[in-house]
């Protein structure tokens, strides 16, 4: 009896705090990914079950479910803002590359972020690294250092708009 009670305690400890809806949601996403990558062959069902279970378990332990609720409307706005900044900045970079008379004023700017170090800041720096004309180059506890092609452009204002849009879209706590 003591052995089975101990097993229940371990099982309860491992599953404590795991929101089953979130685990099921992740498993469904991993199933969709499996179907896209491997197709729907009946011979693959055992491997799919093992892979989906392992991926779900791993994702729950590496990226614990949070309380944030992504907003589809805000994600759409973030996408539009990102596309707008990408096109405008890309055209500016291309124009500067093709016309040597246009000045380049490269340098570094420090962007004061409100995001704490960790996954949220990492998502932000990843998003902003995709924008032409500037790239994250370092950080400290309150700022992210960006290298820019032209420090006289409104880089800080653009980054602030991206940060606000990202927080609204993904971290609407």
pLDDT tens digit sequence for 126-164: 888 887 788 999 998 889 999 998 888 888 998 998 899
Beta strands in the chain (DSSP E): 107-112, 134-139, 143-148
The pLDDT of residue 107 is above 90: yes
End-to-end CA distance of the chain: 44
- Whether the full predicted model's pTM is greater than 0.75, yes or no, is no
130: which DSSP letter? T
Distance CA 83, CA 167 (A): 17
The pLDDT of residue 64 is above 70: no
132 near 90, Cβ under 8 Å?
yes
Distance CA 150, CA 163 (A): 20
What local confidence, expressed as pLDDT, does residue 74 receive? 80
């Amino acid at each position: 009896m003591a052995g089975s009670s101990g097993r229940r305690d371990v099982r309860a400890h491992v599953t404590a705090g795991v929101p089953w809806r979130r685990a099921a949601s992740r498993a469904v996403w991993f199933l969709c990914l499996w179907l896209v990558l491997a197709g729907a062959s009946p011979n693959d069902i055992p491997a799919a079950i093992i892979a989906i279970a392992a991926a779900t378990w791993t994702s729950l332990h590496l990226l614990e479910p949070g309380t944030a609720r992504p907003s589809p409307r805000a994600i759409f706005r973030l996408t539009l803002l990102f596309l707008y900044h990408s096109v405008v900045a890309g055209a500016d970079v291309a124009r500067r590359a093709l016309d040597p008379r246009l000045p380049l004023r490269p340098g570094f700017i420090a962007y004061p972020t409100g995001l704490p170090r960790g996954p949220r800041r990492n998502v932000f720096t990843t998003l902003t690294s995709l924008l032409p004309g500037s790239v994250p180059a370092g950080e400290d506890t309150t700022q992210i250092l960006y290298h820019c092609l032209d420090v006289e452009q409104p880089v800080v204002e653009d980054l602030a708009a991206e940060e606000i849009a990202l927080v609204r879209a993904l971290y609407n706590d």
